Structure 1
Amino acid sequence: TLFRSVTDIIHPDNITLAERSAQTIGLKVAGIDFITPDISRSWKEIGGGICEINASPGLRPHWIGNPERNVVTPIFNTIFPEGENGRIPIALITGSNGKTTTTRMVDHILRAAGHISGCVTTDGITINGEEILQGDVAGAGGAELVLREPTVTAASLESSRGGLLKRGIYTKKCDVAAILNVDNDHIGIDGIESLDQMASLKRNIIETATKKIILNAEDERCLKMSYDFPVEKVILFSMKQDAEGLKKHRNSGGTIVTLEQTKNKESIVIEVNGKTSKIIATDNIPATFKSLVRHNITNALAAAALGYGMEINLKTIAEGLKNFTPTLKDSSGRFNVIDDLPVRCLFEFAHNTPAIETTLKSIPNFTKKGSNICAFTCPGNRPDEHFDNFAKSFAGHFDKYICFERVEWRRGHKEGDISKRFAEALMKYGVSNDNIMQCPTQNEAMNVAANIAKTDDLIAIFGTDARYSLPQIRSAFKKLQTLLERM
């Protein structure tokens, strides 16, 4: 006959070579043209090799060679394994503040569970912890890149307000979804005029969850949403074990994630059907800086709830949170404390009033004996009252202020407009003009900060990504040191 089936006599070494060749070029199904004197003997023994790999192999020769063999079913079972639906576990995270850090924490939990995790945030995309794209892609564009990646086995996706407004929900279903909070940010922009409208926009995320919905029991709008879903589907989290919404949910048989204090040890715990289980002590989570950075404990509560909702065991959730560090690699721009410069520097992306006020509560734990210097900015497209509230939050917390602008954040403002508005607002709230400096660019602000700082001072930099501002201030200190050495 023209074709003869040799499937049952192929030597294992030849099978391995063919499989590895297909895997190398990323094919699950491939037609391998193998030249050898005897397919039943190893290519290592008698020679031979592959001359062609077909991405769309023809099956007809195999049917002709052995009409009794079922060729199609094994191929389908490889592509669509029995019991699987072709989907990967997906977590969607939204909110006004904390969503980037929470998304990254979930990414670490997924990787601790053995997944090749795709993570999308307003800072970029990582696949299995490796950055493949920088920039704000927390929407449909970033999600599509991750969900199309064939190696990804689970995804943690931040969903920003802008992404939802521009392209809406980008997946029909997800396993778990969380709304962390609904705060006063982006109100008055793009048609969102109230907190209730913002809550309605973010609610679209949790409507897609098939397993669990995670909500903040301390946020009145999140708590209100929880009543619209079956109690068994909702997981509430709260820093306060006795929060009213938490107690009601617990008494109704709902699952909660909260804090428990025992023998001077604070731990994240989960309560399911009246049974309390410890997940991890808060001081064992590096991002909390030994429990000093309280807002990252809140983020860890949400991440733990999301992990549990994805049916990951508590030990693995704890491992993921332990692996998440407040470094530039794991958590760029989110409370990064840098101590290898002449002066301690703290980088924090927070650029709305609630986030600023939350972060300021942790700042005293990191000050030294000297002065506290604050450099800050925010996007120029915020409503007028935002600039005033921003300055009001900062006033009185620092000794010196550097108001600066990011060129890409001017958004219609002329050079100097934003820094001037901040300076005027600071003076309105009692800050002396002598302690306020204005800079038209971020780089100039880093130079000014380095020049005015002294040993034991703290420089806190808000509204910037440390991946860019840290090299700038490092360069400024280096130039200053070179200048001093020449004097």
Structure 2
Amino acid sequence: RVFLRSTGNLSTGGTATDVTDQVHPDNIEMAVRAVKAIGLDVGGVDFLSTDVTESYKDVGGAICEVNAAPGFRMHMAPSEGRPRDVGGPVMDMLFPPGTPTRIPIAAITGTNGKTTTARMLAHIQKLAGHHVGLTSTDGVYINGQRTVAGDMTGPVATRMVLSDPSVDVAVLEIARGGLLRAGMGVRTCDVGAVLNVKADHLGLRGIGTLEQLAEVKRIVVEVARETAILNADDPLCLKMADYTEAKNLCYATMDPTHELVGEHIKAGGRGVVLETGIKGQMITIYDHGANIPLLWTHLIPATLEGRAMHNVQNAMFAAAMAFSMGLKLEDIRHGLRTFDTTFFQAPGRMNIYDEHPFKVILDYGHNPAAVEAMCALVERLDVSGRRICVIAVPGDRRDEDISEIGRIAAGHFERYICRRDDQLRGRRSDEVPELLRKALMSHGVSDEQILVIPSEEEAIDTALRQAATGDLLLIFADAITRSWKQVIQFRPEAPPPTGERLRASRPEPVTASAAAVQEDHRHEFVRDSRGVRIAREEHAD
């Protein structure tokens, strides 16, 4: 005999002979036990035996190696014997047929409220035990930890979340800019919601009317597969219902007498309704004829005991989306009762600081609807002193939008401090504050009540120094983190900030002006298995 090799590996010239059908059952059982003992899902066993057709109990034998990454080639293309499809069973074991191959995706859009609603939903999902990926205007969050800072509401952020193997639920905030630039980043979502369509960013990127803006935001429900959720109190949202093919159609309304929603619920459709009871206002879910009282609004911290109606609506949408994603009612209640608009849970969204002798509310509101919501909240709060407001508008908004914000704010405060953002967006340094001052004065505010301080830091510092015991100070901020630190670190004895931080930028081209939404007097309803909706309008070619 001539000794050729010390091993019989295929790589060193060995041959493979398939004997699968001849291996004794005892030997198979021992090989399986060896793989399980090591804790492997897939393993290759090197079994030494003088005769594999006989039991190791009779002829002896040994296992010399268990491979965590066994080769398939010798089995699929043996030198002798029958080829075996070992890859197929392995794939079926790792990914059983019929199991879900995609994680649930919730997409949220709207002019106002989408960041808070997305954070509410992510909080509910996290407390229910899920590892949540969240995209928002202030970053990408994985399981509550911010991994990327900045405005992350576009396809790039979506890919970050969906490519993270630890994420089992995705909550995507979808903004107008990302949709226009590059789309959503996903072809479909499981649940899509449109909160509202209000005047903001009009005249930018070819969107000049509210109807055009609604067409952009409608994409979110057009691609929803399971449930489309719409604000029944917004006519432009209501008209989107006939453009979705989702299996379920859900309306959210703060009007329990809403005609269409009433018909929809009677037909077995899904709805979330704000109803008045003895103890206050109750968020109620209707689904397939069932009436499910969910939670009193005053028990939700983010609503300031039910006074912040915009957050009541946000909570209704978060509840509707969580319910439509199959979460238990107790998980939804627990999530809403533990979500608060602190700076750490929702930065720039109605953050309250009351450690000074006066109360401070900091908010990112930057369009007429947002400013109106905050002014309405201020009117509902008990204030023993004065109401003071630091107000601004982004420089790329139209003059008429700036004037509208001034009109809305007029009459709600005893003192106004008009400023501009760090990023001028094509405006002069004092142009936006002066436009606001003129708008306030034209609606009854005296010149003595108004200060124009262009710098955001200096404007906030002045407001903090002028505030007295019992006052309420509402700050519409742009640099959220810097402004919040300025509020909580304020000391009257410290010197005021000096210097300005200006950032020049090119404004987006302004196009056509917005047209007012005309009230829809039609009552032509479409009825099907999903409920009731308004028929879409037919446009002539």
**Class of the TM-score when normalised by the shorter of the 2 chains:** 0.7 to 0.9
Aligned mate of 1:400, from 412, 415, 439: 415
Aligned mate of 2:156, from 132, 136, 141: 141
Task: Give the partner amino acid of 1:242.
Answer: T
Q: Which residue pairs with 1:426 in the alignment?
A: 440
Helix, strand or coil at the partner of 1:481 = coil
| Aligned-pair CA distance for 1:231 | 9.3
| Aligned-pair CA distance for 1:209 | 0.7
Q: Which residue pairs with 1:202 in the alignment?
A: 217
Aligned mate of 1:321, from 336, 359, 376: 336
Q: Which residue pairs with 2:113 in the alignment?
A: 98
| Aligned-pair CA distance for 1:11 | 7.2
Helix, strand or coil at the partner of 2:106 = strand
Aligned mate of 1:445, from 459, 462, 466: 459
Helix, strand or coil at the partner of 2:459 = helix
- 2: CA distance between counterparts of 1:77 and 1:330? 42
Contact 1:92-1:157 within 8 A present in 2 as well: yes
| Aligned-pair CA distance for 1:417 | 1.8
Matches within 5 A, 1:283-362: 283-362=298-377
| Aligned-pair CA distance for 1:73 | 3.7
Q: Go from structure 1 to structure 2 and tell me whether the alpha carbon gap of 1:439 and 1:75 turns closer, same or farther (over 3 Å shift).
A: farther
Q: Which residue pairs with 1:481 in the alignment?
A: 493
Q: Which residue pairs with 1:280 in the alignment?
A: 295
Q: Go from structure 1 to structure 2 and tell me whether the alpha carbon gap of 1:75 and 1:418 turns closer, same or farther (over 3 Å shift).
A: farther
- 1: CA distance between counterparts of 2:368 and 2:109? 18
1:107 aligned to 2:131? no
In terms of fraction of residues, the more helix-rich structure is 1
1:8 aligned to 2:32? yes
Q: Go from structure 1 to structure 2 and tell me whether the alpha carbon gap of 1:250 and 1:11 turns closer, same or farther (over 3 Å shift).
A: closer
Helix, strand or coil at the partner of 2:345 = helix
| Aligned-pair CA distance for 1:82 | 3.1
- 2: CA distance between counterparts of 1:53 and 1:441? 63
Task: Give the partner amino acid of 1:96.
Answer: T
Greater RCO (Cα-Cα under 8 Å, separation 6 or more): 2
Give the TM-score of the pair, scaled to structure 1: 0.85
Contact 1:337-1:344 within 8 A present in 2 as well: yes
Aligned mate of 1:467, from 470, 477, 481: 481
Q: Which residue pairs with 1:38 in the alignment?
A: none
Contact 1:328-1:466 within 8 A present in 2 as well: no
- 2: CA distance between counterparts of 1:232 and 1:70? 39
Structure 1 residues 446-485: Cα deviation after superposition (integer angstroms, max 9, x where no partner): 211122111111110114354221112333x22x23579x
Q: Which residue pairs with 1:47 in the alignment?
A: none
| Aligned-pair CA distance for 1:276 | 0.2
Percent of aligned pairs sharing the same letter? 36
Helix, strand or coil at the partner of 2:284 = strand
Task: Give the partner amino acid of 1:442.
Answer: E
Q: Go from structure 1 to structure 2 and tell me whether the alpha carbon gap of 1:444 and 1:343 turns closer, same or farther (over 3 Å shift).
A: same
Q: Go from structure 1 to structure 2 and tell me whether the alpha carbon gap of 1:370 and 1:171 turns closer, same or farther (over 3 Å shift).
A: same
Matches within 5 A, 1:149-168: 149-168=164-183
Unaligned runs of 5+ in 1: 20-28, 32-49
| Aligned-pair CA distance for 1:80 | 2.9
- 1: CA distance between counterparts of 2:466 and 2:408? 23
Structure 1 range deviating more: 92-101 or 260-269: 260-269
Q: Which residue pairs with 2:449 in the alignment?
A: 435
Structure 1 residues 1-22: Cα deviation after superposition (integer angstroms, max 9, x where no partner): 5489995343767438xx9xxx
Matches within 5 A, 1:171-186: 171-186=186-201
1:391 aligned to 2:406? yes
- 2: CA distance between counterparts of 1:124 and 1:419? 29
Task: Give the partner amino acid of 1:274.
Answer: G
Contact 2:222-2:244 within 8 A present in 1 as well: no
Matches within 5 A, 1:43-122: 58-60=71-73, 71-73=86-88, 75-77=90-92, 79-122=94-137
Task: Give the partner amino acid of 2:232.
Answer: A
Task: Give the partner amino acid of 1:289.
Answer: L
- 2: CA distance between counterparts of 1:208 and 1:240? 27
| Aligned-pair CA distance for 1:218 | 0.7
- 2: CA distance between counterparts of 1:429 and 1:30? 79
Contact 1:232-1:254 within 8 A present in 2 as well: no
Contact 1:343-1:459 within 8 A present in 2 as well: yes
| Aligned-pair CA distance for 1:262 | 3.0
- 1: CA distance between counterparts of 2:152 and 2:121? 17
Aligned mate of 2:386, from 368, 371, 375: 371
Q: Go from structure 1 to structure 2 and tell me whether the alpha carbon gap of 1:175 and 1:231 turns closer, same or farther (over 3 Å shift).
A: closer
Q: Go from structure 1 to structure 2 and tell me whether the alpha carbon gap of 1:12 and 1:230 turns closer, same or farther (over 3 Å shift).
A: closer
Q: Which residue pairs with 1:22 in the alignment?
A: none
Task: Give the partner amino acid of 1:10.
Answer: A
Structure 1 range deviating more: 252-261 or 177-186: 252-261
Contact 1:333-1:465 within 8 A present in 2 as well: no
Q: Go from structure 1 to structure 2 and tell me whether the alpha carbon gap of 1:472 and 1:145 turns closer, same or farther (over 3 Å shift).
A: same
- 2: CA distance between counterparts of 1:441 and 1:251? 55
- 1: CA distance between counterparts of 2:395 and 2:419? 11
Unaligned runs of 5+ in 2: 1-7, 11-15, 17-27, 45-65, 497-541
Task: Give the partner amino acid of 2:360.
Answer: C
Say how many residue pairs are matched.
451
Q: Which residue pairs with 1:26 in the alignment?
A: none
Q: Go from structure 1 to structure 2 and tell me whether the alpha carbon gap of 1:358 and 1:12 turns closer, same or farther (over 3 Å shift).
A: same
Contact 2:307-2:377 within 8 A present in 1 as well: yes
Contact 1:218-1:245 within 8 A present in 2 as well: no
- 2: CA distance between counterparts of 1:118 and 1:144? 11
Q: Which residue pairs with 1:44 in the alignment?
A: none
1:268 aligned to 2:280? no
Q: Go from structure 1 to structure 2 and tell me whether the alpha carbon gap of 1:91 and 1:483 turns closer, same or farther (over 3 Å shift).
A: closer
Task: Give the partner amino acid of 1:314.
Answer: L
- 1: CA distance between counterparts of 2:359 and 2:110? 30
Structure 1 residues 363-415: Cα deviation after superposition (integer angstroms, max 9, x where no partner): 1344531111101212100111011001111111111111112212x111122
Contact 2:191-2:325 within 8 A present in 1 as well: yes
Larger radius of gyration: 2
- 2: CA distance between counterparts of 1:453 and 1:270? 43
Contact 1:91-1:306 within 8 A present in 2 as well: yes
Structure 1 residues 135-155: Cα deviation after superposition (integer angstroms, max 9, x where no partner): 211111211111111111011
- 2: CA distance between counterparts of 1:67 and 1:131? 54
- 2: CA distance between counterparts of 1:265 and 1:416? 45
- 2: CA distance between counterparts of 1:260 and 1:209? 28
| Aligned-pair CA distance for 1:441 | 2.1
| Aligned-pair CA distance for 1:273 | 2.3
Q: Which residue pairs with 1:255 in the alignment?
A: 270
- 2: CA distance between counterparts of 1:120 and 1:98? 14
